[in-house]
Structure 1
Amino acid sequence: MDQNPAHHLTLSEPTLEEEEEYQSPSLQSERGRKGSVQHSHPRPPPTPSTGIPANMPSSVAGSLLPSAPASPPTPAPSPGPSSRNNIWGQPLSVDVEDMILRDFRIIFSGLDVKSKEACLESIVELCDNHLLGYLHHLVSPKLKKDPFQVLPNELCFKILTFVDDPRTFVRASQVSRRWREVLSDDQAWKLLCEKHAYRRMSSDADSPSTAFAAGGLFSGPEQASNSGLDGPSRSLDTREGSFFKAVEHVRNLKRPRPQSTHRLHFKHRYMVESAWKKGGQMIAKHITPDQGVVTGLHLTKKYIVVGLDNAKIHVFNTKGDHQRTLAGHGMGVWAMVPWGDILVSGGCDRDVRVWNMATGASIHALRGHTSTVRCLKMADANTAISGSRDTTLRIWDIKNGVLKNTLMGHQASVRCLEIYGDYVVSGSYDTTAKIWSVSTGQCLRTLHGHFSQIYAIAFDGTRIATGSLDTSVRIWDPTDGTCRAILQGHTSLVGQLQMRGSTLVTGGSDGSVRVWSLDTYTPIHRLAAHDNSVTSLQFDDARIVSGGSDGRVKIWDLKDGTLIRELSQPAEAVWRVAFEEERSVVLASRQGRTVMEVWDFSPPEEDSSAMTRPSSAPGSSKLNFILPAEDVLMEEAPSTDSELSAGSSSSRQSKRRTARSSRDLQEGVDAVGNIRLVVEPGPSRMRKSISAPDENVEMRDVPAKD
């Protein structure tokens, strides 16, 4: 072998960069991915080096490979300026970015608040408009918190107590599922009912959602007899009673009776209030040709009772159907008071009579007064108290028909009285009011102060209010008989009084209606209600209804004193007005005749509107014979008898119904929920079928009526 060193040439040792690339293939591949920009200059060839001395071993002990001869490394060429710029201009890898963000988060979380603010301020200064918009879009939702999402239900309900508009409830329930869940809770609607001061929810039988299911088409023989039909139509109703009960039974099987909730209760009450403001319908109207003066009107849950100065008392149901006329008084009836089915009346014949309004029977005729009975009140179901022009009050046991006690002390006619518990307060034309004990018959106190006759009185157990011809209203303390306040403002007789809680409403012959606060004894509203005397006055928690001798009936807002609307058409004079939550009765004089109008403000029942109310669509009123008798005669047709034309109206209406030919029944179709009733008359028989969407419930033949 040639030993000449010149012939033993070897490559120089690799540079530091080459060694790193050899030892780190991953780094080499990483740099390869970044492109050839970093290696734009060719690598120079290895530099030759001198040979290894002869006396030096060619390999290190323990080494498997021969070692290259030692030589100083040759420096690698430095990258140029262009190479440096390309390296820093490249985007960072995903791993490097994650590492930087992780480190920044750690550092940022360790800063105090001021340092964080300074850091964020510096970052924001580096952002352009696009980034600032994105930052706003990102930060804005985080600054908003849904209270219903983070707060417990108890606090959510507390927030809802500040909402009094149900439309806000409806709109809010559409925001999200959580909002709908909270607003659908019955507690939320209970709070809204309390906010609107709606009365407490009644039982299921009386609730708006179950009233029809509880009553059905004919809840009893009395309602069937109230339909105002006679002859063939009445017998048809009787035979078909079980038929319609079967319909109702199937209907209840298909759809369970809905549960009464505060939401349904609020919905019902809200619709009633809305109807009082701009709705309602007149469901009955009766006219009498005689010129009898209406002396009394009472509206109860079952009856409308009208007393006249021609000695007659007419009893209607709450739909306006005439039930009966109570005849027995020899002269005009000037006082009456109902209690359930019992009616106590008194008049110019000096008798006090006890009636059963369900049967029309006169139970007792109580005699003792020596002049006209002017006022009557009931202490309980068995006790009535009457006041007369003979200056006395008499306490009657109406169950046994005997006189229990006579209260004497007034010096003139007893014009008005009021009862609370065991106490009765009477007002007289002798300008005094007296407080009596019902149980003992003793006069406890006499209230002096008025300068003229007392015409009206109110008593709630803690206060007594009296209205007088001297134009003043006085408030008395029943415990010691002192006058607490004198309310002045009327310019004529104060003949109408009603007290409810801390509110007193008065009406005078000057045509004004005034609302007073019994806490401060100051006027709240002064209403120029009528052009002449206020003849009737009543109010509840929401409204005032007044009637005047100018022939107008007006409804006022109790809270702000504004006029809501005028009810009914103007008349010559309004005798009496009475109302309850969903009904109103107006007795007025038109063209020398007494007219009674019954107004209904109840909302249409969702499930039974087609069965309980005649439709206004053409041809949809052909089945009136199966409907409750509220499709009464609405036209002002003259009557020939001397009574209210309730019975005659029903009779004429019945004759018109029975005179209809069978062709009118061909179009009779009535929808009842998912059940449809179809009447198809034949030559001699009428086919009646009931069909549901998927099943035929019943089909049978019944005799056809002409």
Structure 2
Amino acid sequence: MEESASGDATLTTIIKLENDVQMEGPGDVLASATTTDLLADLSLAEDFNKEKHLGQAYLINHEKILGTFQSWNEHEQRDFMERALQRMGHYQIGHIDRYIRPMLQRDFISHLPSQLAVMILQNLDAKSLSSCEAVCSNWRSVLAVGQLWRKLIERNVRSDNLWRGLSEKRKWKNFVLIGREAAAQLICERYGKKYDQLRGSFDMFMLQHKFYRELYPQVISDISKIETNWRTGTYTLSRINCRSEQSKGVYCLQYDDDKIVSGLRDNTIKIWDRHDLSNPRVLSGHTGSVLCLQYDNRVIISGSSDATVRVWDVNTGECLNTLIHHCEAVLHLRFSDGVMVTCSKDRSIAVWDMVSPREINMRRVLVGHRAAVNVVDFDERYIVSASGDRTIKVWSADSLEFVRTLSGHKRGIACLQYRGRLVVSGSSDNTIRLWDIYSGVCLRVLEGHEELVRCIRFDDKRIVSGAYDGKIKVWDLQAALDSRSLPGCLCLSTLVQHTGRVFRLQFDDFQIVSSSHDDTILIWDFLDATGETRDVNADALNDAAPAPAVIVDNANNVDESSSEENEDVVRRERHPARQGPRASPELFH
């Protein structure tokens, strides 16, 4: 009877406590309590006197039972425990839950050697690192001493071009990928602290932790702004005016952080210092328009409508070599790893071995196109060429044998880029096509330009195209490769600033640099986008001679009245319904 009364009293207490919990507001700690917790609390309160509840038979046999339990395998042990739990009362399970919970929530980081803790945590992403900081001060100290935010930033800089570029443009590159001591000194200078006083102290670790912890969201914010600016077409525009007495257009260009190298219709190459764009260095020697060029850290190689290829010293501007092979204009060229490929209006492709700038030997001529070969690209597997005959041809880079033809464009092909297994081409049928080079299948057709697509480039995210309609379009590459994407979702933005045909462009994560028949080079900056436009060499423009006359008819066709037909490699075709300029019969059919 006493035991029954005791049990009833306990049950009454539990019910009362449960009612109290239900009556508490949601903000009270008690509101999160459970019946199981309350039962466990009651049973734990009696643990100090638990010996009086243990029978003599149990005390005699429990060691034997535990020995038998130990002899079982883990599956048998688990099965036994499940069966035992099924036979327990609710308050007993609550007690066991409270007993086990600390075992499952052990602070392993605090109990591990610091080096091992750092090795584990340094594999986390930013969100997880932030969560770790909030656990306790000890975990935060592990992050600080291990400089885990710095290591995360360094990993991103090593693996991601956008991060690497931002580290240079935002001037925080010097705080990563250098020794700890050197970085610590720079951080002390930034915060106005004395390095000698903090060196090796915990305060020094915390100061470095503060710097990198604050740097990370700043970088993420920059990346978000850049992506938004690309999608919305928001930029700051810098205009380089290239007009001179003879200039009638900028046909080609390439750039880096220090310079822009451009090929002009006035037969010259102009090298613009990115820090002083008003006074270009001029390379003269070609007797025709400079239609294509490429440079590396040693040489500039250019092709011209004078049918020659010239090799120049990139630092001194000296002409080191002149290659005479093609019998008509050299329309495009590419070189890499000791190999150069050139193509011409004479319908041929030439493959060259580059021993040195002064020793470049012909290896083989590839013949197969039925019209001018307007563009080439290659890697270690394939050479890819496109022609006015409406086809793209693929050649083996090793054997130089023909592999396959990609057919689909309805008119001549003016431009392409090849990388990985993807070829992207632009045509005078006003479309862009994406191809799988292995199967030859056309993956997508992009429509939107109103005239010939003259230049095209792509990276892992975007395709950027320029056309004779004067527009530059930015396309979503990943969406274009997804067959489920609707055509209306593919063009991210259209950039309209050129007043003439867009001849050439190049881009990276932060900018587009483009050139045009309007005698300008435009720099479209998506990093520091303010919407402003500035003429970086306006004084030079005021002193220059006026541009050559052009005639614009009512149909907006442009006739370059001072151009010669054999130089006009970018002339659009005549449409029967619109009287336009006379086109070369071999180009962009």
State the TM-score, normalized to the length of structure 1: 0.48
The answer for unaligned runs of 5 or more in structure 1 is 1-106, 216-250, 530-543, 553-570, 604-631, 645-706
Please give the alpha-carbon distance, in whole angstroms, between the structure 2 residues aligned to 1:128 and 1:397.
85
Deviation of the 1:582 alpha carbon: 4.9
Deviation of the 1:426 alpha carbon: 0.3
Deviation of the 1:344 alpha carbon: 0.9
Please give the alpha-carbon distance, in whole angstroms, between the structure 2 residues aligned to 1:411 and 1:491.
26
After superposition, residues 484-503 of structure 1 pair within 5 angstroms as 484-485=442-443, 487=445, 489-490=447-448, 493-501=452-460
Please give the alpha-carbon distance, in whole angstroms, between the structure 2 residues aligned to 1:305 and 1:461.
27
Give 1:55's aligned residue.
Answer: none
SS of the equivalent of 1:411 reads coil
Contact 1:285/1:320, CA 8 A, preserved across alignment? no
Contact 1:297/1:305, CA 8 A, preserved across alignment? yes
Deviation of the 1:460 alpha carbon: 2.3
Contact 1:309/1:332, CA 8 A, preserved across alignment? yes
Q: Deviations over 1:635-656 (max 9, x none)?
A: 5564535799xxxxxxxxxxxx
Q: Deviations over 1:233-257 (max 9, x none)?
A: xxxxxxxxxxxxxxxxxx9998999
Please give the alpha-carbon distance, in whole angstroms, between the structure 1 residues aligned to 2:221 and 2:537.
25
Contact 1:454/1:468, CA 8 A, preserved across alignment? yes
Q: 2:271 aligns with which of 315, 318, 327?
A: 315
Q: 2:306 aligns with which of 349, 352, 361?
A: 349
Give 2:14's aligned residue.
Answer: 120
Please give the alpha-carbon distance, in whole angstroms, between the structure 1 residues aligned to 2:171 and 2:425.
39
- CA distance change for structure 1 residues 577 and 202 in 2, over 3 Å: closer, same or farther? closer
By percentage of residues, which structure has more helix? 2
Please give the alpha-carbon distance, in whole angstroms, between the structure 2 residues aligned to 1:483 and 1:213.
44
Give 2:379's aligned residue.
Answer: 420
- CA distance change for structure 1 residues 526 and 198 in 2, over 3 Å: closer, same or farther? farther
Give 2:288's aligned residue.
Answer: 331
Contact 2:254/2:262, CA 8 A, preserved across alignment? yes
Contact 1:182/1:188, CA 8 A, preserved across alignment? no
Give 1:177's aligned residue.
Answer: 137
Give 1:556's aligned residue.
Answer: none
User: Is it true that 1:515 corresponds to 2:476 in the alignment?
Assistant: yes
Please give the alpha-carbon distance, in whole angstroms, between the structure 1 residues aligned to 2:20 and 2:127.
46
Give 1:361's aligned residue.
Answer: 318
After superposition, residues 149-298 of structure 1 pair within 5 angstroms as 150=107, 152=109, 161=125, 163=127, 177=137, 180-181=140-141, 186-187=147-148, 198-199=160-161, 208-211=171-174, 266=216, 269-270=219-220, 272-273=222-223, 276=226, 288-290=243-245, 291-298=247-254
SS of the equivalent of 2:370 reads coil
Please give the alpha-carbon distance, in whole angstroms, between the structure 2 residues aligned to 1:528 and 1:370.
41
Contact 1:507/1:513, CA 8 A, preserved across alignment? no
Contact 1:280/1:601, CA 8 A, preserved across alignment? yes
SS of the equivalent of 2:425 reads strand
After superposition, residues 528-677 of structure 1 pair within 5 angstroms as 547=495, 550-551=496-497, 576-582=504-510, 585=513, 587=515, 594=520, 597=523, 599=525, 601=527, 636=539, 638-640=541-543
1:120 aligned partner, one-letter code: I
SS of the equivalent of 1:121 reads helix
Q: Deviations over 1:481-526 (max 9, x none)?
A: 5435453645754444444458766666676654354654454663
- CA distance change for structure 1 residues 163 and 212 in 2, over 3 Å: closer, same or farther? closer
SS of the equivalent of 1:393 reads strand
Contact 2:288/2:304, CA 8 A, preserved across alignment? yes
Give the greater-gyration-radius structure (CA): 1
Indicate the structure whose relative CO is greater, using CA pairs within 8 Å and at least 6 residues apart: 2
SS of the equivalent of 1:370 reads coil
Percent of aligned pairs sharing the same letter: 19
User: Mean Cα displacement is larger for which, 181-190 or 399-408?
Assistant: 181-190
State the TM-score, normalized to the length of structure 2: 0.56
After superposition, residues 377-456 of structure 1 pair within 5 angstroms as 377-380=334-337, 382-398=338-354, 399=356, 400-456=359-415
Please give the alpha-carbon distance, in whole angstroms, between the structure 2 residues aligned to 1:520 and 1:423.
25
1:580 aligned partner, one-letter code: D
Indicate the RMSD between aligned Cα atoms, in angstroms. 5.6
Contact 1:283/1:320, CA 8 A, preserved across alignment? no
The alignment of Structure 1 onto Structure 2 pairs a total of residues equal to: 428
Deviation of the 1:438 alpha carbon: 3.5
- CA distance change for structure 1 residues 596 and 149 in 2, over 3 Å: closer, same or farther? farther
Please give the alpha-carbon distance, in whole angstroms, between the structure 2 residues aligned to 1:173 and 1:352.
61
- CA distance change for structure 1 residues 120 and 638 in 2, over 3 Å: closer, same or farther? same
- CA distance change for structure 1 residues 527 and 435 in 2, over 3 Å: closer, same or farther? same
Deviation of the 1:360 alpha carbon: 0.9
1:119 aligned partner, one-letter code: T
Q: Deviations over 1:198-243 (max 9, x none)?
A: 448769x96943549999xxxxxxxxxxxxxxxxxxxxxxxxxxxx
Deviation of the 1:358 alpha carbon: 1.0
Deviation of the 1:396 alpha carbon: 2.5
Deviation of the 1:331 alpha carbon: 1.3
Give 2:30's aligned residue.
Answer: 139
SS of the equivalent of 2:488 reads strand
The answer for unaligned runs of 5 or more in structure 2 is 38-100, 110-116, 179-192, 530-534, 548-589
SS of the equivalent of 1:396 reads strand
Please give the alpha-carbon distance, in whole angstroms, between the structure 1 residues aligned to 2:525 and 2:474.
23
Please give the alpha-carbon distance, in whole angstroms, between the structure 2 residues aligned to 1:433 and 1:513.
23
